[in-house]
């Protein structure tokens, strides 16, 4: 496995790879089975697989979240080596944000730019687009692997790729969960003892939404679902039913063939997001 810290060294290496398509998995490190599944998806497609580890400061709307973000580079490199990742890119902030090299892309996000995650995390997606556009420019992959766990991010990056005419196939990868149902996240390591026995309720609630979806009006289902998360250490930011194709918020059943339920919850001081298809397909 090769490790690169600069754009120049990365490019000199990747320019020599011609026998396989390049598959790229951007991450912020603190790697877990969710990230592993993206690397595996890339390898399964026969790609020369490049992962990046970069905690991107511009996508953190909350400074203390950036400071507290887990950093486990040695363990990450070991995991990537064992799983058979071909190359890892770990640039410094100064390498990514070289003067003039990483403008915020000019992309029309429509409603996606101001609802759900965008409403609660101001500036977050501008930072995500900025870093993903810059990384794509450096890595120049044929395939980009991203998780459905961050559904709005995935959809926004798809818009960005289309609008900027970037030649890359975005491959969505399913959510990997713990046996309790909790979606695996780097932030889970910060969950405290009070909330840990209860965080499976996020998944339970989404499952309930899926089971009840065809029999219950959306407004009533939303009310019941919110009740399930009504505990003193949870603060629900949103729970919505969306058209799975364009992520518009639904108020009634007839408005979409494919429906995904999404939620964001603070579990004490850790913010968790999750989603589940409750009707139809992605």
List residues near ligand AMP by CB under 6 A.
Answer: 27-28, 34-35, 37-38, 146-147, 149-150, 173, 175-176, 183-186
The tokens of 170 are what?
A: 């975005």
Query: Which residues are within 8 A (CB) of 245 and not within 5 positions of it... i.e. 6 or more apart?
Result: 256, 258
Give bridge partners of residue 276 from the DSSP assignment: 261
Tell how many helices (H) and how many strands (E) occur in the chain: 10, 9
The tokens of 281 are what?
A: 């397909």
Query: Which residues are within 8 A (CB) of 37 and not within 5 positions of it... i.e. 6 or more apart?
Result: 147, 173, 174, 176
Nearest approach in angstroms of CB 47 to ligand AMP is: 15
Nearest approach in angstroms of CB 214 to ligand AMP is: 26
The tokens of 195 are what?
A: 């909330």
Nearest approach in angstroms of CB 247 to ligand AMP is: 15
- The yes-or-no answer on residue 35 being catalytic is yes
Nearest approach in angstroms of CB 128 to ligand AMP is: 9
Considering the complex, state which of residue 132 and residue 256 has its C-beta at the smaller distance from ligand AMP: 132
The tokens of 103 are what?
A: 């403008």
Which strands sit side by side in the sheet containing 87-89, from one edge to the other?
A: 2-4, 87-89, 48-53, 22-27, 143-147, 169-173
Considering the complex, state which of residue 150 and residue 204 has its C-beta at the smaller distance from ligand AMP: 150
Strand duo 169-173 + 143-147: pairing: parallel
Considering the complex, state which of residue 184 and residue 225 has its C-beta at the smaller distance from ligand AMP: 184
Which residues in 110-144 are b (16+ Cβ under 10 Å) and which e?
Answer: eebeebbbbeebeebbbbbbbbbbbbbebbbbebb
Nearest approach in angstroms of CB 157 to ligand AMP is: 9
Considering the complex, state which of residue 200 and residue 222 has its C-beta at the smaller distance from ligand AMP: 200
Give the other-Cβ count within 10 Å of 230's Cβ.
9
Considering the complex, state which of residue 145 and residue 234 has its C-beta at the smaller distance from ligand AMP: 145
Pick the catalytic residue: 32, 35, 124, 203? 35
Active-site annotation, residues: 35
């Amino acid at each position: 496995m090769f490790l690169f810290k600069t754009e120049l060294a990365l490019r000199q290496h990747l320019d020599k790879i011609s026998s396989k398509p390049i598959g790229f998995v951007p991450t912020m490190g603190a790697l877990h089975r969710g990230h592993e599944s993206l690397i595996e998806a890339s390898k399964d497609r026969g790609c020369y697989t490049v992962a990046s580890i970069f905690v991107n400061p511009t996508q953190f709307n909350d400074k203390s979240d950036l400071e507290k973000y887990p950093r486990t580079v040695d363990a990450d490199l070991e995991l990537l080596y064992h799983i058979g990742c071909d190359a890892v890119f770990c640039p410094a902030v100064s390498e990514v944000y070289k003067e003039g090299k990483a403008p915020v892309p000019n992309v029309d996000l429509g409603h996606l730019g101001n609802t759900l995650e965008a409403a609660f995390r101001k500036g977050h997606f501008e930072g995500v687009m900025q870093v993903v556009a810059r990384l794509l420019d450096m890595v120049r992959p044929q395939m980009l692997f991203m998780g459905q766990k961050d559904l709005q991010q995935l959809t926004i990056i798809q818009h960005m790729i289309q609008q900027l005419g970037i030649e890359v196939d975005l491959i969505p990868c399913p959510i990997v969960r713990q046996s309790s149902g909790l979606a695996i996240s780097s932030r889970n390591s910060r969950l405290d003892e009070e909330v840990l026995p209860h965080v499976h309720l996020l998944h339970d609630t989404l499952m309930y939404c899926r089971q009840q979806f065809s029999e219950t009006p959306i407004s009533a289902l939303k009310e019941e679902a919110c009740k399930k998360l009504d505990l003193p250490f949870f603060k629900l930011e949103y729970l919505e039913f969306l058209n799975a194709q364009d992520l518009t918020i639904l108020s009634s059943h007839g408005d979409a063939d494919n429906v995904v339920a999404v939620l964001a919850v603070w579990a004490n001081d850790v913010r968790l997001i999750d989603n589940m298809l409750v009707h139809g397909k992605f």
